[in-house]
Amino acid sequence: MTTLFMQWFRPPVFKDDEDKTRSALLLNVVLNTFIIALPVVSLGSILGGNLPRLATILTIIACAWVLVFGIRFIMLAGHVALAGIGLITVIFTAVTLTLYNVGSIRAPATSFYILTIVMSGLIISRRAILWMAGISTITVIMLLLAETNGLLPPPNLTITLTQGTTFAVVFAIISVLLYLAVKNIDEALARARQELAERQRVEKEREKYIEKLDKQSAELERFTYTISHDLKSPVITIKGFLGMLKKDIQDNNQNKVDVDLKRISDAAEKMGTLLSELLELSRIGRVINPAEEVDLGILAHEAIGNLDFLIRSKKVKICVASNLPVVYGDHVRLREVYENLIDNSIKYMGGQTSPLIEIGARREKEVILFVKDNGTGINPIYHEKIFGLFEKLDAKSEGTGIGLALVKRIIETHSGRVWVESDGLGKGSTFFFTISSNKDA
């Protein structure tokens, strides 16, 4: 029972109409205040002294009180604007009749006209403010003329308790309305700021995606060129040497047959290598091995073991630091990072008589891993370019130009970053990379 009673005094909520809900909240405050305040005003009028036409004024207040309950039912039925107009009409009419019976516009009841103007703006619309202000002004002027010409009963302006009660009610209602109005404005500003921040965040995300799409578009162009050129070239080689092979077999020239077969085999191997690396690149971020704790010291030695023949044939010395950390990630992919970086360093040793590769880590704000060599070095203007797909600074060099792109993608899937530092040609290169320590990365 108590719950139903309290529910009746709460404002209705319209989920799909925020403005209507706000108006209902303000109107509900005024209705509840009048339900409580009108009996208080009546009591103040009775105790206040010799009020002219007291019975008539009490009747006006009682009628207004009953109508307030009826207006509340209209609001609860969802007709908020109609209820607002009805309440303003009831207040305006009751105030005008009360002033007429009191006999003067100098009575505190006149301040209720201000309340009707404020309510018109907050509950109905901005235009209603002008209409209500105009009607109230005209009414006050007419009452003033009536009082001046003796058409109203003689006023009694010494009824202090009645005046104090009336002013207190008006001040209370206006204060609450203005408080709620300012609160709504503050909340609207907060929502606007939040929406602006969200839009700015979305805009930044959009710019990132556009930049990413631009890079992918450029990568796709390079991919198309490589497929059309690097795959077509071995096919042409195979096709050409097949013709020569046929002729050499017919001529029974075994030496040339062996050469032809070797060239065909090399071309096929080149094509197979390119296709394998392209397939491997496409799997990054799509085919994911279970993440686990990885000791990078052990991992580096595994990579060296897999490249043992190449390292020995090139007589490269590799030093692995003892302070390599344990990280959380894809064991297989991280090993491929070291394999590709070591392989890249060996390819670009140039004429170095004592080739050396150092694998280590340094601890700053984060752990930075590195693979350093004393090879040919890289011109600083190419430090970003070399991580692109199919990017080769020397078109005649070994490899497909996929290795460093593969490294970059693996590191990015581990929420890290990779970069290179080199003072220039002949001064070696150092490839740095980081790996997030967050298991959820």
Task: Report domain extents, the chain.
Answer: 2-199, 290-441
CA angle (392 as vertex; 387, 395 as ends), nearest 5:
175
CA distance 253 to 256: 6
3-state secondary structure of 433: strand
**Among the ranges 7-16, 49-58, 62-71, 373-382, which has the highest mean pLDDT value?**
62-71
Residue 66: per-residue pLDDT: 94
pLDDT at 325 exceeding the cut of 80: yes
Predicted confidence (pLDDT) at residue 313 exceeds the cutoff of 50:
yes
Share of residues in the chain with pLDDT > 70 (%):
84
Strands ordered across the beta sheet of 429-433:
317-320, 356-363, 367-373, 429-433, 418-421
**Segment 164-192 mean pLDDT:** 74
Higher per-residue pLDDT: 201 or 399: 201
The stretch 162-190 carries a mean pLDDT of 73
- The CA–CA distances, whole Å, from 156 to 51, 101, 140, 160 equal 7, 11, 18, 10
Please compute the mean of the pLDDT values over residues 329-334 and round it to a whole number. Answer: 88
What's the rounded mean pLDDT across residues 423-433?
89
With 70 as the cut, is the pLDDT of residue 48 above it? no
The more confident residue out of 139 and 188 is 139
User: Would you say 380 and 422 are in contact if contact means Cβ atoms under 8 Å apart?
Assistant: yes
- Residues 130-134 have a mean pLDDT of 88
For residue 183, with 0-12 CB atoms within 10 Å meaning exposed, 13-18 middle and 19 or more buried, which class applies?
exposed
Question: Of residues 147 and 434, which shows the higher confidence score?
Answer: 434
339 compared with 106, residue with greater pLDDT = 339
Report residue 400's pLDDT band, with 50, 70 and 90 as the boundaries. Answer: low
Contact 434, 417 (CB under 8 A): yes
- Report helix, strand or coil for 404: helix
- Mean of pLDDT values over 279-290: 62
Its pTM stands at 0.47
Distance CA 134, CA 345 (A): 88
Strand partners, 404: none
Side chain identity at 117, as an amino acid letter? I
What pLDDT sits at residue 391?
61
pLDDT for 83 equals: 93
Return the pLDDT at 386. Answer: 83
Q: For 29-35, what is the mean pLDDT?
A: 86
Measured in Å, how far apart are the chain's first and last C-alpha atoms?
Answer: 55
Q: Which CATH class is domain 290-441?
A: alpha beta
**Cα(300)–Cα(307) distance, integer angstroms:** 11
Mean pLDDT over each residue of the chain, to the nearest integer: 82
CA distance 107 to 105: 5
Model confidence pLDDT, tens digit, residues 372-382: 999 988 888 88
Distance CA 62, CA 58 (A): 6
Across 115-129, 216-230, 256-270, least confident range:
216-230
Predicted pLDDT at 361: 93
Residue 424 has what pLDDT?
A: 80
User: Quick one: average pLDDT of 244-270?
Assistant: 83
Q: Sign of the CA dihedral 212, 215, 221, 222?
A: negative
pLDDT at 287: 47
Out of 170-184, 201-215, 427-441, the most confident range is 201-215
Q: Please give the pLDDT value at position 271.
A: 76
What is the four-CA torsion angle of 262, 266, 272, 277, rounded to 10 degrees?
A: 160
Q: With bands split at pLDDT 50, 70 and 90, how would you rate the model's confidence at 316?
A: very high
SS3 at position 395: coil
Most confident stretch, 13-27, 38-52, 177-191, 303-317 = 303-317
